[in-house]
């Protein structure tokens, strides 16, 4: 839907334009997002994540206030935690496939 499309658009913009990273794959599941990206060594990953969460929360809460109201009654959008790991050439394809399949799981 429109929310996921806007979040994906913001993800590319923030990672690529603001931090000179390259986004390989992005997808969301019910309550989280997976982003496979390449970052220059000088990028401070904690700053990238903090900036990403701050900017997306501010814009999405403003643009989708009515849509988010039933779900996000607290004054924040994201959980404070995040997970970052490196991917080898061998695991890159597996991780890409995993991300592509987010949100496509059978219910039940």
pTM of this structure: 0.87
In a domain, 16, yes or no: yes
For 13-29, the pLDDT digits (tens) are: 999 999 999 999 999 98
Judge whether 16 and 38 are in contact, CB under 8 Å.
Answer: no
- When comparing pLDDT for 72 and 108, which is higher? 72
Please check whether residue 106 lies inside any domain of the structure.
no
Q: Assess contact for 67 and 75: CB atoms under 8 A.
A: no
pLDDT tens profile 26-46: 999 888 899 999 999 999 999
Q: Which domain holds residue 12?
A: 2-100
Residue 107: what pLDDT?
Answer: 46
The domain total for the chain is: 1
- The CATH number of whichever domain residue 10 belongs to comes to 3.30.70.1290
Residues 6+ apart with CB under 8 A from 37: 15, 21, 22, 23, 24
Catalytic annotation, residues: 98
């Amino acid at each position: 839907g429109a929310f996921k499309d806007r979040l994906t658009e913001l993800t590319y913009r923030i990672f690529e334009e603001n931090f000179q990273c390259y986004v390989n794959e992005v997808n969301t599941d019910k309550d989280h997002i997976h982003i496979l990206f390449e970052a220059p060594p000088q990028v401070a990953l904690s700053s990238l994540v903090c900036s990403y969460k701050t900017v997306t929360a501010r814009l999405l809460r403003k643009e989708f206030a009515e849509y988010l109201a039933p779900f996000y009654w607290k004054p924040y959008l994201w959980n404070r935690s995040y997970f970052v790991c490196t991917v080898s050439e061998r695991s890159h394809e597996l991780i890409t496939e995993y991300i592509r399949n987010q949100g496509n799981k059978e219910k039940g």
